[in-house]
């Protein structure tokens, strides 16, 4: 999970309190907008369909008004207002939870937001409160939306069209604090209007370092509550100056039904991976998988150094890196080769152990098949808010090697995984959290653990099975949903 988002400050206009949470267009307007976009696209000779797709997505699921929306509003006003006078039907509860998160981005907060929404919708059977969602935080990704299962798309549209009365609504701002009202970068502010207009406002966030910055502490203290995922965060937030009475631990759910190894066949990784080092391995003895965005925090340098120094081509082992850019280009092959050269890692006499990079978009529906194709998952990151790929791998019964610091300490144990010790702490040298501290995972210990997992397959599989059991008993959607529902109901009772 990542909290380091855009930090550029802008003058963000604030919505009028009488404006709707949901800037929606009627079905007839969709057709008009599509024609207008098509005409303009042709007029300006656009050569890609991505523009049209993205614009269509914005119309389908977005609160950000575009030029087309402004034009259509002038031609065909359709803006709805919050219900402030007309009573709601008796069959529907007045109380509402508006969950604002980057549902369309495909990043860490997006994944976590979806996990909560899916869990709550299923578990809130009595409908003691209605649910609504809004896109907030990261930019929309059409590829991510396109790769979602149909049931998730249908649910998103349904909840996006839910109407709420501000005075009966709890708003959950699920993002890094820089996106909260007033935002430090261009995004829909959360809450959408003044904090006091709502029954309660909750911030859901986390950090990957040893502290919370002063600016973000101030923003946390503006919230009625701050939900964090682990005991690690409870401690670091309070020690950084966040009001202890506001900090509440709410663990993250993992969809153990979706990430169920018995439901999937493995994906052919070689068909989508790019060979960077070593030779093509059709019959690998062992496959390591790592999933992360390409940034220093994720410890890809530690992983490559440990792997290339421990293994050679003679071991018939393969490492797959499923990654994507983070404030950088996609030239991962050259980045890896340059790192190996600068690190002075000598090529073994029998040749390099194979390293593949998967940098193409993998649909959410295919993600379990990625895990299914691996024998073990490894992520020696320097800090995690939660560690979404780690728990996904554990739910898929994979033996996991991960750094035993920050978020993962909430669920890593000697019984269900291979916790990686750290050599010490190091200072963050750049970015918005410069000067903070995070962990330096042990290269030597990682080599030992990777070799041990490969040489002790039965033990590793047993830990993988225990990992899935722990995910089911501690972090299954229904368990976490019950925790969230109780907190929400208590807030409604307290405020009433």
Q: In the 3-class helix/strand/coil scheme, how is 19-43 assigned residue by residue?
A: ECCCCCCCHHHHHHHHHHHHHHHHH
pLDDT digits (tens, 9 = 90+) for 392-408: 999 999 999 999 999 99
Which residue would you say has higher pLDDT here, 273 or 28? 273
Is the residue at 11 inside a domain? Answer: no
User: End of a domain among 46, 81, 116?
Assistant: 81
Which residue would you say has higher pLDDT here, 50 or 171? 171
Give me the pLDDT at residue 1, please. Answer: 52
Q: Is 239 in the same domain as 310?
A: no
| Mean pLDDT score, 412-429 | 98
How far, in Å, CA of 299 to CA of 390, rounded? 14
Q: Is 223 in the same domain as 97?
A: yes
Which of 65-69, 135-139, 353-357, 471-475 has the lowest average pLDDT? 65-69
With a pLDDT cut of 90, the percent of the chain lying above it is: 69
Is the residue at 410 inside a domain? Answer: yes
- The pair of structure tokens assigned to 166 is 């501000």
Total domain count, the chain = 3
Cβ–Cβ < 8 Å for 110, 138: yes
Q: Which of 212, 238, 244, 168 is closest to 432 using CA atoms?
A: 212
| Mean pLDDT score, 479-484 | 96
Q: Is 470 in the same domain as 480?
A: no
pLDDT score of 334 more than 50 = yes
User: End of a domain among 62, 81, 100?
Assistant: 81
Percent of the chain as helix, strand, coil, to the nearest 5: 40, 15, 40
pLDDT score of 345 more than 70 = yes
| Mean pLDDT score, 354-362 | 94
Give me the pLDDT at residue 327, please. Answer: 58
Q: Is 154 in the same domain as 49?
A: no
Give me the pLDDT at residue 59, please. Answer: 53
pLDDT score of 323 more than 90 = yes
Could you identify the residue written with the tokens 């379990």? 368
Angle, helices 457-475 vs 388-395, to 10°: value is: 110
pLDDT band for position 388 (cuts 50, 70, 90): very high
Domain with 43, as residue range(s), is 22-81
How far, in Å, CA of 236 to CA of 228, rounded? 10
Is the residue at 86 inside a domain? Answer: no
Which residue would you say has higher pLDDT here, 94 or 329? 94
Give me the pLDDT at residue 332, please. Answer: 93
Q: Is 58 in the same domain as 139?
A: no
Cβ–Cβ < 8 Å for 63, 22: yes
DSSP 404: S
Q: Is 271 in the same domain as 420?
A: yes
Give me the pLDDT at residue 60, please. Answer: 54
3-state secondary structure of 319: strand
Sequence-ordered list of residues with C-beta below 8 angstroms from that of 420, at least 6 positions apart, any chain: 380, 401, 402, 403, 404, 441, 442, 445, 446, 449
DSSP 124: -
Could you identify the residue written with the tokens 């402030």? 84
Q: Is 442 in the same domain as 367?
A: yes
pLDDT digits (tens, 9 = 90+) for 365-381: 999 999 999 999 999 99
Q: Is 105 in the same domain as 205?
A: yes
pLDDT score of 33 more than 80 = no
Give me the pLDDT at residue 92, please. Answer: 65
| Mean pLDDT score, 189-212 | 96
Q: Is 285 in the same domain as 419?
A: yes
Cβ–Cβ < 8 Å for 174, 146: no
pLDDT band for position 330 (cuts 50, 70, 90): confident
Question: For the chain, what is the mean pLDDT?
Answer: 85
**468 phi, psi to nearest 5 deg:** -65, -40
- The pair of structure tokens assigned to 327 is 């404030």
pLDDT score of 65 more than 90 = no
How far, in Å, CA of 166 to CA of 83, rounded? 8
Q: Is 269 in the same domain as 340?
A: yes
Q: Is 461 in the same domain as 380?
A: yes
Give me the pLDDT at residue 71, please. Answer: 34
Give me the pLDDT at residue 3, please. Answer: 46
Give me the pLDDT at residue 90, please. Answer: 47
| Mean pLDDT score, 280-304 | 94
Q: What is the CATH number of the domain that holds 129?
A: 3.40.50.2000
Q: Which of 445, 455, 441 is closest to 399 using CA atoms?
A: 455
pLDDT score of 52 more than 60 = no
pLDDT score of 262 more than 90 = yes
């Amino acid at each position: 999970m990542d909290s380091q988002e855009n930090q550029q400050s802008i003058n963000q206009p604030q919505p009028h309190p009488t404006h709707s949470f949901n800037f929606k267009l009627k079905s007839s307007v969709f057709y008009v907008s599509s024609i207008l976009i098509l005409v303009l696209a042709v007029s300006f000779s656009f050569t890609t369909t991505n523009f049209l797709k993205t614009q269509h997505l914005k119309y389908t699921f977005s609160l950000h008004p575009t030029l087309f929306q402004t034009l259509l509003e002038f031609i065909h006003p359709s803006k709805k207002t919050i219900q402030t006078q007309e009573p709601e039907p008796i069959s529907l509860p007045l109380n509402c939870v508006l969950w604002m998160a980057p549902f369309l981005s495909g990043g860490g907060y997006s994944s976590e937001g979806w996990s909560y929404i899916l869990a709550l919708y299923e578990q809130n059977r009595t409908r003691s409160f209605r649910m609504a969602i809004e896109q907030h935080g990261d930019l929309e990704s059409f590829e991510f939306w396109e790769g979602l299962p149909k049931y998730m798309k249908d649910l998103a549209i349904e909840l996006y069209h839910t109407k709420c009365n501000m005075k009966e609504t709890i708003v959950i701002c699920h993002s890094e604090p820089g996106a909260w009202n007033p935002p430090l970068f261009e995004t829909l502010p959360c809450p959408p209007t003044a904090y006091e207009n709502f029954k309660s406002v909750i911030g859901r966030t986390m950090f990957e370092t040893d502290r919370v910055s002063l600016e973000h502490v101030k923003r946390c203290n503006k919230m009625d509550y701050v939900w964090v995922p682990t005991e690690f965060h409870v401690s670091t937030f309070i020690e950084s100056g966040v009001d202890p009475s506001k900090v509440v631990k709410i663990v993250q759910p993992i969809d153990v039904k979706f990430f169920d190894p018995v439901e999937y066949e493995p994906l052919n990784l070689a068909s989508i991976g790019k060979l960077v080092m070593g030779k093509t391995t059709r019959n690998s003895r062992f496959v390591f998988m790592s999933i992360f965005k390409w940034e220093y925090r994720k410890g890809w340098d530690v992983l490559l150094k440990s792997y290339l120094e421990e293994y050679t081509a003679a071991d018939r082992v393969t490492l797959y890196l499923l990654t994507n850019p983070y404030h950088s280009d996609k030239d991962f092959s050259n980045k890896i080769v340059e790192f190996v050269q600068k690190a002075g890692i000598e090529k073994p006499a029998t040749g390099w152990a194979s390293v593949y990079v998967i940098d193409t978009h993998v649909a959410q529906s295919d993600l379990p098949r990625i895990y299914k194709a691996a024998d073990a998952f490894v992520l020696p990151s320097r800090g995690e808010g939660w560690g979404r790929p780690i728990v996904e791998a554990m739910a898929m019964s994979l033996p996991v090697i991960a750094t035993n610091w920050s978020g993962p300490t909430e669920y890593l144990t000697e019984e269900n995984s291979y916790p990686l010790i750290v050599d010490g702490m190091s200072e963050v040298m750049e970015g918005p959290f410069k000067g903070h501290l995070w962990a330096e995972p042990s290269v030597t210990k990682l080599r030992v653990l990777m070799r041990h997992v490969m040489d002790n397959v039965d033990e590793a599989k047993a830990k993988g099975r225990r990992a899935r059991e722990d995910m089911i008993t501690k972090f299954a959607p229904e368990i976490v949903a019950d925790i969230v529902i109780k907190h929400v109901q208590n807030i409604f009772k307290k405020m009433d």
